[in-house]
Structure 1
Amino acid sequence: MYNVLLVDDEPFITEGLIDAVDWSAFGLEVVGSADNGKRALELLRQVPVDVLITDISMPVMDGLALIRQARERIPALKVIILSGYNEFDYLKEGMRLGIENYLLKPVNFEELRSTLGATADKLNAARPERAFGEDEIGILRDNVMKRWLTGRIGPAELAERLALLGIGAMKPYSAAAIIRFSGDEGKAYEETARVLAGEEDVVLFRDTEGDDAIAAFGMDDPELGRKLAEKKLLALAEAGEGRIRIALGGAKPTAAAGESYEQARRALQLFLIAPDRRYIDCDALPSASAISLPEGVLEWDAFARDFVAKDKPELLRRIGADFAVIRATADPMRAKGAAVELIIRMKLETDKLNRPDAAEAYRSALDLAVGAESPGELEEAVTAAATYSVDSFAGEDMSPVVKQVLRHIQEHYAEPMTLKSLGQMYHIHPNYLGQLFHKQTGETFADYINKYRIGKAKELLLESPLKVNEIARQVGYWEIGYFYKQFKKHVGIVPSEYKGLL
């Protein structure tokens, strides 16, 4: 990965770029951001950077001055300018400084992606060839194959990466299987690799976003190939002795292999209501032809819009309206398959939030849907799943890393901590973490942690017989004078006066 630094005095620009671009697809990683040239130079002294993307017009130090000084420190630095000014003098000076491109705001993302691709190619060409170790090959294989199944890698780059990994050309058809381990994951993965060893057209790799393994089967004949894949997977399930669960997607043209992966993901959810099974084929999923409901009824696309908008009233209204249509049909219970499919789609979306209680919530909804004997019970199951889902997403405006930091403060408030130490812990630059924390909590990191510690101190002052200096240490203050200062700032009186309120 090559490191990227973003510099713009408008935070929504840098945050928007971070979210809108799949940086890993170009072999790039954003390691920090700054709101002026001076702060950017400070970051460049702390973090190795290969690509600088900067605005020109900024306070304290403008972008052109930043480029000149940054180049003195990193001569090979690649620079891309983003500017709201279409002025010849700026462009001319930028070209003199040797930039990759001069892009006007609002950013044309196609042009930006093209520029990033060309820049990454230049960096790759300048990098000396070296042999990869076994661990590096494994990481590269995991990353490339997952990007392939999720449609985040182009054909040319895929062919190049497969050649580097020693993987032969893709067969015309492919099927994806997800293999979930329990117990000792290391041994289970080794067992999977042993059972599938020597299979020429199978690539086994780890899911880069989870603990599962994924087997990609290549095949010339989709029907015969899938039967052979199923035979191998059943043997694996048997060898796993209860430690392995497997879900297999359908055989698809290799260019559309992501569809097979999605089918396998959905099939995997059926283990919630069939915990004793070890193998589930995607054919167990309800098909559209079997459901045969009126157009628009219990369809995921319509529900997804309400999830994105976090519109709970509209979501519940839609469920009620759909079931009113279902009750008016000749065979209302034919909606059972559609309801199960809808609940599975809800769970797959909510899985992105990593909620620990999600499995149980959706298991209950699926159990109710599968065992439903009336449209009312079926509606109750869909409503329960939808309510849980939209409530989950309603609280997800906050960045995952900020939520992790808040949880860390709650659990370790008495321990020393700084933005720098938390940045190292969560792999994010401390300056950017501070900006993100302030934006999403409305408070600076220092104010938040002081307020939290003082809150704990207030509890101890009222409930424990400890002395003030002992309480200060218990909540993370080793300098008693600073504790008194913060306590008076947040409470209005000193600790001894507060304790005297009892």
Structure 2
Amino acid sequence: MYKVFLVDDEPFIIEGLIDIMDWASFGLEVVGSALDGSEALEALRSTPADLLLTDISMPEMTGLELIRSVRAFRPELKVIVLSGFNEFDYLKEGMRLGIENYLLKPINVEELEATLANVTEKLRRAEREERFGVFGARIIRDNVLHRWLTGQISQSEFNERAGLLGLHFGHTRLGILILRAGEGGEDLPRRTEEALEDEKDGLAFRDMDGDAAVVVTLAQDEGEERLLEIARKLEERLGSGIRIGVGSAGPLPEHGSVSRSEAKKALEYALVDPERRLFRYAPPSAATSAAEISAWALADLGREYGRLVLARDREGLMQRIGEDMAAIGRAEGMTPEELQNIALGICADLRAVLREVKREDDGEPFLQVLDRIRNATHMEELVEAVRRAAEETVGMLNRDTRSPVVQQVLGHIAAHYGEELSLKMLGSQYRVHPVYLGQLFHKETGETFTDYLNKYRIERAKEKLRTTGQKVQDISRSVGYWETGYFYKQFKKHVGISPTEYKALQ
């Protein structure tokens, strides 16, 4: 735990900060407090602290004077300034002293949470670099690659960080491999990197959820055969106990998150065939009507089922599965084997939803459902088996440890993301104080309400840009952004390119 010291001449401010923030969720603990700068300075000489939160205007010694004095013997101390005055001179001097942020009272809880998250990440990074030297830089590299492939960092930000870290991609296409060890997978990323020493186009790193990941860059005329070639090489060199998921190939950079998601879902097929080691997440063969059953169409089904599962919409989910399976069954060239594979793919998507919301499951209910899919002799049995898998998924989520109010909020977002949404409005609807609701939401989802809502809306916008002919302005409004300029800004932040550029790629 990193240690926090609070300073404010109003005791209720200190008490409020202690009570309102879930410090432990950020890896922080409050180790002391003071009511003026002089008292704080004396206490900090003997009290270990990593972060100081201080008011500006206090008797005897101001917050800025305190910062100057404490920097003399603790230069590495992180500082967040609180102030009731929006004074440029205060801000200017605070920036000169190297503060992390200048927050106005009354404190915006979400802004404070975001600042604390940034500060703790800086503290962890500094600690890692100090302890591990060059290895610390590798951890940062892994973090950057993970954030890029999960849409948590814009393309421009990634390009900047990639330059600093010496990451250079020499081709215009890419695909992702995900490697998972049954047991003892701690050193899998290192072993993967060693196994790829003779492959200049393969970049291995540790994915933040524990798997090893490989970014394979591809020349314009290369595709999934090249990905499979590298996957088979890793399969041979790493030995037994390793499973490899293979995503599809596509344009760099925008296809990275798609391919990673596909590779993750492909690994869920290990539940069906535990003896197999190489898994591809692929659509049915080209003999099937390509116009009706495409990789994008199946990916859209997975996303839609995920949305309905998170909304706990059992009725809508059952109806949608019946309609979709019937439509797929009518596709030209569809064979019973391909139909069965699609059903298994849908189950893999549903199980992946459980992983995405950070809930571990024992897989037993899915094993029973998968047996029913493999043994189905007619369409009705197949549809019923997929519906059972969907029901099991919703049931497992309902048994999740999340509080009912956060589950309700997630469902409300899924159903009403195009409408005006705020913590204040939702707090009123569910009879919870908005500040407490924001804290609870962040604690249980790992994201602030605003970040989660923006990401959710952008994902829905991407779907509409891919699958409809609507104008960008109309899509912007349909997902909850009435200011098109703000929509462009958020889209580029999360996707790395503008909505217009994204639409042109489809």
TM-score range, shorter chain: 0.5 to 0.7
Is 1:228 the counterpart of 2:210? The answer is no
Match for residue 255 of structure 1 among 246, 253, 256: 253
Match of residue 432 from structure 1 = none
Q: The residue matched to 2:346 in structure 1 has which SS?
A: helix
Which secondary structure state, in structure 1, belongs to the residue aligned with residue 28 of structure 2? strand
* Alignment correspondent of 2:461: none
Please say if 1:385 is aligned against 2:389: yes
For the pair shown, the structure with the greater C-alpha radius of gyration is 1
1:54-453 equivalent positions in 2, closer than 5 A: 69=66, 72-74=69-71, 76=75, 77-81=77-81, 87=85, 101-104=101-104, 107=108, 133-155=133-155, 157-169=157-169, 171-182=171-182, 185=185, 192-210=192-210, 212-221=211-220, 223-224=221-222, 226-256=224-254, 257-283=256-282, 289=291, 291=293, 299-309=301-311, 311=312, 315-322=313-320, 325=323, 331=329, 339-352=343-356, 357-398=361-402
Give the distance between the partners of 1:92 and 1:220, measured in 2 at CA. Answer: 54
Cα distance change of structure 1 residues 186 and 9 upon mapping to structure 2, 3 Å threshold: closer
The separation in 1 between residues aligned to 2:54 and 2:380, in whole angstroms, is 58
Q: How far off is 1:174 after superposition? A: 1.7
- Range with greater deviation from structure 2 (373-382 or 331-340): 331-340
Deviations for 1:66-99, whole angstroms, at most 9, x for unmatched residues? 776566445655544567x6x557x766666665
Once residues 225 and 270 of structure 2 are traced to their aligned partners in structure 1, the CA distance between those partners, rounded to angstroms, is 22
1:213 deviation in Å? 1.4
Q: Partner of 2:27 in structure 1? A: 31
Contact 1:316 1:383 in 2 (8 A): no
Moved more, 194-203 or 346-355: 346-355
User: TM-score by structure 2 length?
Assistant: 0.56
Contact 1:8/1:36, CA 8 A, preserved across alignment: no
Change (3 A) 1:116 1:268: closer
Kindly tell me: are residues 46 and 389 of structure 1, through their superposed partners in 2, closer, same or farther at Cα, counting changes over 3 Å? farther
Q: CA deviation at 1:265?
A: 0.8
Give, in angstroms, the shift of residue 261 of structure 1: 0.8
- Structure 1 residues 153 and 305, CA gap change in structure 2 (3 angstroms): closer
Other-structure match for 1:489? none
Q: Matched residue of 1:246: which SS?
A: strand
Corresponding letter in the other structure for 1:382:
V
1:263 offset after TM fit, Å?
1.2
C-alpha deviations, 1:204-223, integer Å up to 9, x for none?
1222321x2111112232x4
Deviations 1:174-211 (A, max 9, x none): 2110112245546766654443212212111222321x
Structure 2: distance between partners of 1:183 and 1:100 = 41
Q: Report 1 or 2 for greater relative contact order, CA contacts < 8 Å, sequence distance ≥ 6.
A: 2
Q: For 1:263 and 1:337, how far apart are their aligned partners in 2?
A: 15
Give ranges in structure 2 of 5+ residues lacking alignment: 7-13, 404-438, 445-506
Q: What is the CA–CA distance in structure 1 between the aligned matches of 2:284 and 2:17, rounded to whole Å?
A: 47
4+ residue stretches of structure 1 with deviation over 6 A? Answer: 1-8, 39-45, 54-57, 64-67, 108-121, 129-132, 285-288, 295-298, 332-335
Structure 1: gaps (5+ residues): 20-29, 400-434, 441-502
The RMSD of aligned alpha carbons is 5.3
TM-score (norm 1): 0.56
Q: For 1:167 and 1:205, how far apart are their aligned partners in 2?
A: 12
